[in-house]
Structure 1
Amino acid sequence: MTDTTVTLRNQAAANNMRILYLDFYPAIRHPDTNKLTRRYNLGRKIYSETKLESKEYVTGKGNKSVKHSEVFGNRKDKDGNPLPVKNTLTDLQKEHNRKTLRKANKKVIEIQSLIDNGNYSFLSKKVTSLNFIELFEQIADTKGESTRAIFLSSLKKLREFAGDKLYNKEITLEFCEKFKSFLENDEGLSQNTASAYFRKFKRAVADSEKRGLIKIDDLERFNELKIEELDTNIEFLTLDELMKLTTIPCSNELYKLAALFSGATGLRRSDVVNFSLKGIRKGYKGKKYINVAQEKTKKIVPVPLNKSALNILEKVSNESNKPFSSLQDTHWSTLDIELHKWIKDAGINKKITFHCFRHSYACALIHKKVDIFTVSKLLGHKSLSSTVRTYAKVMDIDKYEAAERVEFVNSIDW
């Protein structure tokens, strides 16, 4: 039995996040290096309740580095010390913090028990000592909220297949093939859902392989493994339908404006909700745009604000700095019922969701002959292939229209 105490701590990081780690005092010896260590990174992050800033500095050795620290405002405590500026969290972010901290505190108890018994194997970086299930979960926690949800659904299926303990040495090409077959034969999954789950599993494996935590003997064959997706038709609204919707009342006028704003900018619902008027800037020829830190991809994407978008903002600009943020106070399913009724009242017989307004923006650009590379950039897709895959059928329609422009034989009598 040792006298070492395990304490959960956090450290400021980029994007207003905090990294969770365990602190050991007194220090313990690392089993791989025999050196004393006081820290164990949990590989998990939470959203910071105070605002953080990143500053670049030069170390004593002349190297550039970045320091993340709290932002202090004008408010002071009773001793006259400045207080950090609070960071307003969404309900989803608060829920993420609650779940993550609950898991982290369980880890504290687990690690404390191991240390009390003189077992420091959890520190080892050897492949055989790592549980891939836990590693998969840690990778999921680094993703945006919607992507994280798919990772966790994939992990749930992996647990069904392999249990709660799956050591890295067990992740072989044969294992991956068997898990692929398991997903393909799951009657409760559609083919496209099984495909999405397997892609997330492969991403977690590939990430671990790059870090030297997993060894796949035949990477070429591993990369070829996939579950084919079936072609699906994306629903979208035409510009005429969008214009018609502007004249149709909705029981939740703010949700209506948020949906139309998505149709005018291509923003996802999560990014519309987090949209801030303070971020509006002037760019080329005085045109207005805003840099959006996308919730899903974490990428900073410059989004031009066209006349439609600016007209919508004029209707909500008096509400608050974040005009759509109050939508989070109502459950999404309730808002979607109101949206469906609004679409029906407009006489539009399509299965339209909020995300379809983003599709409508993309499809309008494609029909207006905007090149697919520009469309991809405006949507903030990580790769051009994502855009092509999503809007392939829309592009095919345009191909037929383009081909008709080259007609030069008017009849068979020539």
Structure 2
Amino acid sequence: MIKNKSFINDTTMAKAIKTPKQPKEPVRVRYKTLSDGSQSVYLDIYRDGKRQYEFLKLYLIPETNAAAKAQNKATLAAVNTIKSQRIIELTNGVAGLKNTSLRSKMLLLDWMQAYKESQEKKGVRGSGKLISNTMNVLRAFNAKATMRDITRDFCLAFINFLRNIYVSPSGKKLSQFTCVSYFGCFRGALNAAVREEIIAENPVNRLNTDEKIKMPESKREFLTIDEVKILIDTPCRREDVKGAFLFSCYCGLRISDVLVLKWKNVDSSAEQWRINIIMQKTRQPLYLPLSMNARKWMPERNGAGDEDLVFPTLPCEDTCNVQLKPWVKAAGITKHVTYHVSRHTFATMLLTLGADLYTVCKLLGHSDVKTTQIYAKIINKKKEDAISLIDMEFANT
């Protein structure tokens, strides 16, 4: 009986002793897939209640052969060695983090200034003013925010600030279009920060579709084929602006891409001319065939070098839009026409003439056909309106 009682007590005691939980690793290895298929390896370090990232400048390559597998094995061994060192440093109370991880502590406004200078250095004309205006709004929203403060919740709060709280120096709230422009600039700056490995990811990409700022579909103004023909016959005070606008009507390039388009991007070696560029907005490649009508509105090369601009005299986007107004008015067109209308015109013109949605998607450089479907909806609405005209005409018969 005593042995049985002892056994029961031992069993009860064993159940009472809980297995201690394993502490979470303070340093974890993370991977970011790059556009070329390789993976950038970085460390996710949790220290003093805060998360930091250390970019190692080490990469895993696609394992297409034995040599690649061996290289990746050596890379991972190096990563794990660094990881072990960081764990020891954290355990001993030593910071031991590289400067690259500390860059996330920089102020958001300081990064925006660096981004502005980078864009201007690349020759992205018109970007300076937009970035400066976006910085003014960010300064009013949170002037002390650092790069590691930029989370999904930060982005949502900034969207709300743009839409409902911020008041411009003129005392007016921002229009939907301006909100889209400023938030797009903010998103572009964060994408650049990811490329520079200042932050690990862009939290804007974690927003749901209905949480992002979008332009109302009704705002996507475009010109009909007949209106384009009228503009061709109407003189414009700035022939370079007229030529660039009509060029985009026939190829769909954004003003940001037209402004930096160089002759090296134009392949005229074959009968079918093509443009090969990295789009300024999305940083995605675009391989675009040029129609005869698009080529007609390009300036003559006249011995220009590969690094020379195709439209060297074209002003910034804001000035282009100012110059478009009297030209459009002289043509008798009452629509609100900006340079971006040329891109909408290209899309709707193709769909009107019977091009399929997938082809138009690729010509515009859209990554998702859902974006292109907006134009298809516009065309369908115009068809419905046309049918309604018949009903109105015979309403009393």
- Which residue in the other structure is 1:372 paired with? 357
- Which segment drifts farther, 371-380 or 249-258? 249-258
- Structure 2 residue runs of 5 or longer lacking an equivalent are 1-45, 47-53, 56-66, 72-94, 169-173
- Which residue in the other structure is 1:248 paired with? 234
SS at match of 2:178: helix
Structure 1 residue 275, shift from structure 2 partner: 4.5
SS at match of 1:326: coil
User: Are residues 1:400 and 2:387 paired?
Assistant: no
Structure 1 residue 365, shift from structure 2 partner: 0.9
- For normalisation by structure 2, the TM-score amounts to 0.55
- Which residue in the other structure is 1:309 paired with? 294
- Which residue in the other structure is 1:187 paired with? 167
User: Are residues 1:257 and 2:237 paired?
Assistant: no
Root-mean-square deviation over aligned CA pairs: 5.3
User: Are residues 1:159 and 2:139 paired?
Assistant: yes
Q: Rg larger in 1 or in 2?
A: 2
Output one character per residue of 1:55-77: Cα deviation in whole Å (capped at 9) or x when no partner. Answer: xxxxxx66999xxxxxxxxxxxx
Look up the equivalent residue of 2:138 and give its one-letter code.
L
Percent identity among equivalent residues? 27
SS at match of 2:274: strand
Q: Higher helix share goes to which structure?
A: 2
- Which segment drifts farther, 369-378 or 228-237? 228-237
Rate the CA distance shift 1:200–1:224 in 2: closer, same or farther, 3 A. Answer: farther
- Which segment drifts farther, 300-309 or 187-196? 187-196
Q: Residue 101 of structure 2 is aligned with which of 116, 125, 142?
A: 125
SS at match of 1:370: coil
Structure 1 residue 135, shift from structure 2 partner: 5.4
Output one character per residue of 1:366-391: Cα deviation in whole Å (capped at 9) or x when no partner. Answer: 212322221121112333333334x3
* Contact map agreement 1:198 1:226 (CA 8 A) in 2: no
Output one character per residue of 1:247-275: Cα deviation in whole Å (capped at 9) or x when no partner. Answer: 22223333322222221211223433424
Look up the equivalent residue of 2:101 and give its one-letter code.
K
Look up the equivalent residue of 1:181 and give its one-letter code.
N
Structure 1 residue 364, shift from structure 2 partner: 0.6
Rate the CA distance shift 1:120–1:331 in 2: closer, same or farther, 3 A. Answer: same
- Which residue in the other structure is 1:267 paired with? 253
Q: Residue 289 of structure 1 is aligned with which of 260, 267, 274?
A: 274
Distance of 1:384 and 1:324 partners within structure 2: 30
Look up the equivalent residue of 2:334 and give its one-letter code.
N
Distance of 1:392 and 1:327 partners within structure 2: 35
Q: Residue 360 of structure 1 is aligned with which of 309, 329, 345?
A: 345
Distance of 2:210 and 2:384 partners within structure 1: 32
Structure 1 residue 239, shift from structure 2 partner: 1.5
Structure 1 residue 161, shift from structure 2 partner: 1.9
User: Are residues 1:237 and 2:208 paired?
Assistant: no
Structure 1 residue 213, shift from structure 2 partner: 5.2
* Contact map agreement 1:237 1:360 (CA 8 A) in 2: yes
- For normalisation by structure 1, the TM-score amounts to 0.53
SS at match of 1:310: helix
Alignment of 1:382-397 (within 5 A): 382-389=367-374, 391=375, 393-397=377-381
Structure 1 residue 350, shift from structure 2 partner: 2.5
Q: Higher strand share goes to which structure?
A: 1
- Which segment drifts farther, 255-264 or 316-325? 316-325
- Structure 1 residue runs of 5 or longer lacking an equivalent are 1-31, 33-39, 42-60, 66-118
Structure 1 residue 225, shift from structure 2 partner: 3.8
SS at match of 1:316: coil
Structure 1 residue 356, shift from structure 2 partner: 1.9
